[in-house]
Amino acid sequence: MVAQEIMDKAVDIEGLSFTYPDGHQGLKNIDLVVYRGEAVAVIGPNGAGKSTLLLHLNGILRGNSVVKVFGLPVEEKNLKEIRRKVGLIFQDPEDQLFSLTVFDDVAFGPINMGYSEPEVKQRVTQALEWVGMNGYEQRSPHHLSIGEKKRIAIATVLSLNPELLVLDEPTSNLDPRSKWSLFELLRQLPVTKIVAAHDLELVRALCQRTVVMDEGKIVAGGSTESILSDVPLLRAHGLAPCLD
C-alpha cells in the first residue's frame, strides 16, 4: 500500500527552499505533490519562482530538501534515470538547442538513450510531426524564428517519450494555430504534465489543477476552475488586471 502510494506520486516535494548563489531566495518552503496522470499548472507573476521550481524536477537545481520523482530522490546517482523519465522544456528555447541541424537536436536524446538508427529516425520524424515541423530536419536551429525554435525545443523532449512532461511557458511566441495544435497534442499525450504558464487559456484547456506562486512561495492551490474564477486572488498576485 505504502509502495503503491509512492509509485502513484509523480512528484513529491516537501519543505523545499532554494537560494541562488547571489543570495536571492528563489523558493521558500515549497510543498507539492503531483500524482501520476495529473496535469498541473503553476501560475504566478514574473519572478515568482516558477522556473526555479521546475528546474528542480530533473536536478538542474538542487535545494535544501529532497525532491522525489516517481519515488526516486533527485540526486546524483539517480539523475540518468530521472532524466529519462522527466522531459523538461525550458522557458527559453535557446537553452535547449545546440546542434548544427534540427535533426541532430531532436535526435540527441534518443541517440543518448541508445536507440537504434531506424528507431532514432522514427522518433525524430514523429516528434517533428507532432509540432508541425517536418521538413525542417536540415535547417540550423539557430536561424529559425522564435516560435519555430520553441516548437523544435518541444520536439527535442517529445522524441524521448517522457513519463513526466515539464513545460515552462510552452506557448510563448507560438501563433494561434501552433498554440491550439500544441494544446491538442498535450491533451492527448497520456503522461503527467506540469506546466508553468502565464497563458491562462492554456491552463484552462489543459490542467485540472492549478497552484499559484508568488515571491518564492505557493500561495494557493485547487481546481483550475476555482483558482481561475477567484478574481481577488488573481489580482492580488498580478494575474488579472486591477480595474479599480
Does 238 bind ligand ATP (CB under 6 A)? Our answer is no
Spatial strand order in the sheet of 25-35: 25-35, 9-19, 68-69, 72-73
Neighbours of 90 (CB within 10 A): 21
47: left (phi over 0), alpha (psi -120 to 50) or beta: left
Residue selected from 52, 58, 96, 156 as contacting ligand ATP according to rule CB under 6 A: 52
| Residues numbered 49-68 forming contacts with Mg ion, rule: CB under 5 A | 50-51
Residue selected from 20, 81, 138, 229 as contacting ligand ATP according to rule CB under 6 A: 20
Does 47 bind ligand ATP (CB under 6 A)? Our answer is yes
| Residues numbered 85-144 forming contacts with ligand ATP, rule: CB under 6 A | 91
4 binds, among Mg ion, ligand ATP, none (CB under 5 to 8 A by kind): none
Question: DSSP assignment of 66-87, as one string?
Answer: --EETTEE-SGGGHHHHHHHEE
Contact 201, 169 (CB under 8 A): no
Does 172 bind Mg ion (CB under 5 A)? Our answer is no
Does 51 bind ligand ATP (CB under 6 A)? Our answer is yes
| Cell representation of residue 144 | 529559425
| Beta carbon nearer to Mg ion, 50 or 151 | 50
**Applying CB under 6 A, which residues contact ligand ATP?**
20, 22, 24, 26, 44, 46-52, 91
